[in-house]
Structure 1
């Protein structure tokens, strides 16, 4: 996918980038949502705790009548809580199913959009890589062409220098006893 010497340092695209729904909702947010959906359950729990607290106080003070009354209220509060749980469960069951279905469809749609965006990003990066590869090959070809031209120009310059050098001895002057030949022999032997 990547060519050595890649100019594009960006990390590959992720389908989970900047997706707040990818992370779970916190406990506090879930508690608030459930409190709004089913307010009778926390109310029943609070009444049960209040009845137990009052029963404890009346036990310490020795008031048996108030203790029995508070234990009865605790039972009523627990019954209210259980009824709220069962009733809320039945009431919200269809709504939860619809919400799950809707959330599933929405999630599927979002997933498809993210996948499409991710694929487009990958295609764009592949095109960038191809363009970079073409640019690299063009630069490499240009450098090779420049080296070839430089080599040819050096050859031509060398040939031009060789053609400028004139022969010291003309072919007609190469006689055994010619003055040029004897002069060359003396130069060669270092006598002069």
Structure 2
């Protein structure tokens, strides 16, 4: 068997720059969106999720306040309301996923 010849490097390795891979673009998005733009876009796509999150947070906050003040019946009611709001939020997320899956198929 013959020994393989010396490998000829095509380009020297530069650690300060990303490697060049044929057919691969390092940035998929031409205009990357920030947190605010993404939040607004996602809220417009499915407005029920933020409403459910706010309802959950409000019920939890008020329930903890009532617990601290010693109103145990109202605190229990608010904790049950929080569970309902969480269920609403999960249902909104699932319906939003189903709607986007149906939209992508069309």
Q: Confirm or deny a common fold (TM above 0.5).
A: yes
Find the structure with the greater CA-based Rg.
Answer: 1
Q: Distance in 2 between matches of 1:96 and 1:43?
A: 25
- CA deviation digits over 1:3-34, x for unaligned, max 9? xxxxxxxxxxxxxxxxxx51311121111010
Q: Distance in 2 between matches of 1:48 and 1:60?
A: 18
Deviation at 1:41, TM superposition (A): 0.4
Deviation at 1:44, TM superposition (A): 0.5
What SS does structure 2 have at the residue aligned with 1:73? helix
| Aligned equivalent of 2:99, options 91, 99, 111 | 91
Unaligned runs of 5+ in 1: 1-20, 99-192
Q: Distance in 2 between matches of 1:26 and 1:53?
A: 29
How many residue pairs get matched? 78
| Residue in 2 that maps onto 1:44 | 52
Structure 1 residue 81 corresponds to structure 2 residue 89: yes
Hey, which of these two has a bigger chunk of helix by percent?
1
| Aligned equivalent of 1:70, options 61, 73, 78 | 78
| Residue in 1 that maps onto 2:36 | 28
RMSD: 1.3
- 1:22-171 residue pairs with structure 2 within 5 A? 22-97=30-105
Q: Distance in 2 between matches of 1:97 and 1:37?
A: 17
Unaligned runs of 5+ in 2: 1-28
What SS does structure 2 have at the residue aligned with 1:88? helix
Q: Which has the higher contact order (CA 8 A, sep 6+)?
A: 2
Deviation at 1:96, TM superposition (A): 3.8
Deviation at 1:69, TM superposition (A): 0.2
User: Which structure 1 residue ranges, 4+ long, deviate > 2 Å from structure 2?
Assistant: none
What SS does structure 1 have at the residue aligned with 2:77? helix
> What TM-score do the two structures reach when normalised by structure 2?
0.69
> What TM-score do the two structures reach when normalised by structure 1?
0.39
- CA deviation digits over 1:161-185, x for unaligned, max 9? xxxxxxxxxxxxxxxxxxxxxxxxx
Deviation at 1:58, TM superposition (A): 0.3
